[in-house]
Chains A and B, each alone.
Chain A
Amino acid sequence: MRKLSFFLIFVGFVLSGSLQYFKVSGIRGAVIPRNDIDSAVIYIMVKGGSGYDPAGKEGLAELLSSLLTKGTDKYSAREFAEKTETLGSTVTAYAEDEALYIYGWSLKEHFDETFSLVADALLHPSFPEKEIAKEKRRLVTSLAQKWDEPGYLASEVFRSKLLAGTAFGREATPKTVERIDRKDLVNYHHGFFNKANVFVVVAGNVSPSRARELVKKYLASMPSGRAAKFLPLRTRTLETRIYIVDRPQAPQTQIRLGYLAPALPLREMVTRKVANYILGGGGFSSRMMKVIRSQEGLTYGIYSYFTGFRRGDYFAVSTFTKNETVGKTVGLILKLIREFREKGATADELRRAKGYYLGGYPLRMETPLDLAYRVLNSELYGYGRDYIHWERKFVPPLGLREVNRAARRYFHEKPVVVVCVGPAEKIKPQLKNFGPLEVIKPPRF
């Protein structure tokens, strides 16, 4: 126990002692120096993301993120790639629901140059027409290709059905991507890429003063503007619905099951997280894994999680099983949720869950990228600075009463949305008793 405490203090020191927040030239950020390693990372979050795509032009944020490094005022797409890769650096941009991200990782000796490349991509993308056409073609093909993977298809259909009617339930399609033009990209960039809307994290082998200098040197010219308002989200699933995406020749069925849930303040979010660990989030320690994999041999993997947005979350269970055992697997999942809600966790389960989160705290902070991502999450979800050390602050005092209250409040077996990707003819009869059922055809491109 003394050793564990030492390492908690060690990690706490690394973060508490070194994590410094700053505001430089109107830009907010944080720096986490680590001089024991040979690399550094600049990670920038721009609030916005796919949820803010204009109606009918879904795919815009994703397209924009891929175009940030495909031509700037200074470099062509090819020059940018050659320059970055010759340094051995990585510069990557991507879009999520409520934010776009760009990060640059490099050896410490190439960090200044890598930082300047990230800044160039962030502030001065030129959106060349030729590159837009190419990226649109690639995006459409990648949509089709991803949908060929049953696991991805199940997750996408589940999200779209669960979040239908909200900004996050919309999907990019070839048609919506085709409608996007250069003007949309430029407008989106003008609308979101401003000082009020970004947060910058510098981590690794770079001093706090140098980090501030780099922010000032390369990012100070970013325009001022307004922060994006967070989008609303319904937080209650209204009725149970079963959807089967028919793939007649599939040898196995992918299953997703879940419901909408409220966004919570940090302390309560941690309580729910610990409860979920016991039910389905804890791997071999979870009830779902014990029963559905270890006892019944129905699947190779099953896990549950809460994920979501600033204004709401959703609960999801993800697994797969052979076509003959889909009904049995869905039934067992619902039974486990019901039992957990009604009877709660045991003291032993809670002890194990708390041990996992508290003891694993150092493992989740091992690299600069791990640290940077945690700081950005805290900023996006508005959890405040307590989020950096949430394990240490909120897990030790958690009792069985709080966890079982969370089990009653945040877990239920109906209403739920269930999506199965597999042969409808075989799985439909197994699911008819769970609720209204609809067979849908896989998307065609």
Chain B
Amino acid sequence: MRRFVLLILFLAPTWALNVKVQKEVLPNGLEVLLVPNPNTPVMSFQVWVRTGSRNERPGITGISHMLEHMMFKGSRHYGPEEHARIIKENGGEVNAFTSEDKTVYFDNISPGKIDLVARLEADRFMFAKIDPGAFASERKVVYEERLMGVDNSPFGKAFELLQGLTFMAHPYHWPVIGWPSDILAYTAEKVRQYYEERYNPSNVFIVVSGGFNRDAVVTTLKKYFSSWKKGPKVPPVVTREPQQKGPRYAKVYMKVHVPFLFAAYRVPPYRSQDIPALEVAARILGQGRSSRIYAKLVEEKAVAMQAGGGIRPMMDGGYFFTYLMVNMGKDLDEAGNEMFSIVENFHEGKIEPWELEKARNQILASMVRNLERAFYVGYMVGESYLNTGDPTFFLKRLEAYRRITGEDVKKAAEKYFKFQKRNVVYILPQGGEK
């Protein structure tokens, strides 16, 4: 059994964050990351599966998310939704989410419930039912979820289109929830096959964070998860997104009063050394009322109701996104061009020292705020581990943020925020098609 302990303590007082991660590996290869914090009365138990929409293919888009739903529909010893009901009657929260890169199941609960949680999770990860009757009903639920979040929502529709436009070849092209025709096409058998291929100790790791007794957690996990059989790894995603040689635009006419646009510029993977500089650039450009985009378009020119941006790093490369909602009667094209000019010419101007300080302080503050909740501690550790193999990568990166100069930020912006790499979705009121 391998065991190591990482203790990260930054020396500068402002940047001091103390998160200790211990890693255990069960004989079947299941990795467990323990993040103790004796000061919290909450434990977050998270099961991370290394499969998401990037691991799908046309015809079964959304199947990772569909399986996530079916994981609540019963296992060998528990009936449909019984897992959720039991966690709730013990005062806990239970849920799951699927993204492009992963599927994560979590139970936030009092630490004394570790035996219960491990038993419930092991049962569904080893013996999920996925029966055709429950599947037929749950498929309708997922379809409703898609209607609510995408087809009946201007923002949802815009987001789906933006990602489709930004990635043409890579599986990030299709939505996590899947195309409607795929949702209606796959069968319970197909979902079961996906479960059997992917849900095994080679593709799963567990994160436990908060106030718990380490020995009790390790003993309990061994008790319930040791008999889980090893399996094949999820096949690697080989497709790489080709270089974008020119801007891409999409226009959609919907029943909206306020036209708006979403834009995206691709950025490198989460683990890339360029990400810290790009995140600082994104914050200077788009986070808060003093950011360049907001200050110019909302405050100074008063053409927009809302404008800004942020970065979304992902495993195979994510994107820097911006959004713009113009005030009634204002021209979206004109305001949009002004926003693109702010972004794409950012590398030419000077970055003020206070802007750098602001970005750094915002990054630290948001991390401190997240560390107040056991769930987010677990989430940050899990995200780091998934993307880099190092559970404390997010803390080590703080040092990179501290060292970044204005020149680093400009250089990164020049490389990625280019006219040729621009992707824009316009949502426009119906009737303006002609």
Contacts and interface: CB of A to CB of B under 8 A. Distances in A.
B267 to A, nearest CB: 23
A322 B328 contact: no
B104 interface: no
A16 B268 CA distance: 50
A356 B374 contact: no
Given A85-B288, A138-B305, A149-B155, A284 B328 contact: no
B116 to A, nearest CB: 11
A285 B325 contact: no
A366 B80 contact: no
A87 to B, nearest CB: 6
A138 B90 contact: no
A4 B142 CA distance: 36
Interface residues of A, number: 81
A175 interface: no
Contacts of B365: 39, 88-90, 106-107
B255 interface: yes
B334 interface: no
A294 B89 contact: no
Interface residues of B, number: 76
Contacts of B263: none
Given A39-B372, A145-B305, A366-B374, A356 B152 contact: no
Interface stretch (B225-233, B295-303, B335-343): B295-303
A147 B257 CA distance: 8
Given A78-B299, A134-B302, A362-B42, A148 B255 contact: yes
Given A284-B84, A366-B372, A109 B91 contact: no
A368 to B, nearest CB: 8
Given A355-B91, A360-B93, A138 B327 contact: yes
B141 interface: yes
A113 to B, nearest CB: 12
Contacts of B14: 107, 109
B325 A88 contact: no
Interface stretch (A243-251, A381-389, A406-414): A243-251
A307 B90 CA distance: 25
A140 B290 CA distance: 22
A232 interface: no
A149 B299 contact: no
B364 interface: yes
A300 B90 contact: no
B7 interface: no
Given A78-B295, A134-B299, A144-B258, A293 B141 contact: yes
Contact of A148 (B84, B256, B357, B372): B256
B148 A352 contact: no
B252 interface: no
Interface string A126-167: 000000011001101110110111110000000000000000
A81 B144 contact: no
B358 A300 contact: no
Contacts of B13: 109
Contacts of B90: 355-356, 359
A329 B182 CA distance: 26
B345 interface: no
Given A38-B368, A294-B80, A367-B373, A148 B154 contact: yes
Interface of A: 2-4, 6-7, 10-11, 36-39, 77-78, 81-82, 85-90, 105-107, 109, 133-134, 137-138, 140-142, 144-145, 147-151, 247, 249-252, 254, 282-285, 289-290, 293-301, 320-322, 351-353, 355-363, 365-368, 444-445
Given A88-B365, A145-B260, A322-B143, 5 more contacts: A81-B295, A141-B325, A320-B144, A320-B147, A322-B147
23 contacts: A4-B91, A39-B365, A39-B368, A77-B289, A78-B299, A86-B358, A88-B362, A88-B365, A134-B302, A141-B328, A144-B258, A149-B153, A149-B155, A294-B81, A320-B144, A322-B144, A351-B89, A353-B89, A355-B88, A356-B88, A359-B110, A363-B42, A368-B372
Interface of B: 13-14, 17, 39-42, 72, 80-81, 84-85, 88-93, 108-113, 136-145, 147-148, 151-155, 255-258, 260, 287-290, 295, 298-299, 302, 305-306, 325-328, 354, 357-358, 360-366, 368-369, 371-374
Instruction: Rank and list the top 6 A-B pairs by shortest CB-CB distance, nearest first.
Output: A359-B91, A3-B112, A88-B361, A297-B140, A88-B365, A360-B91
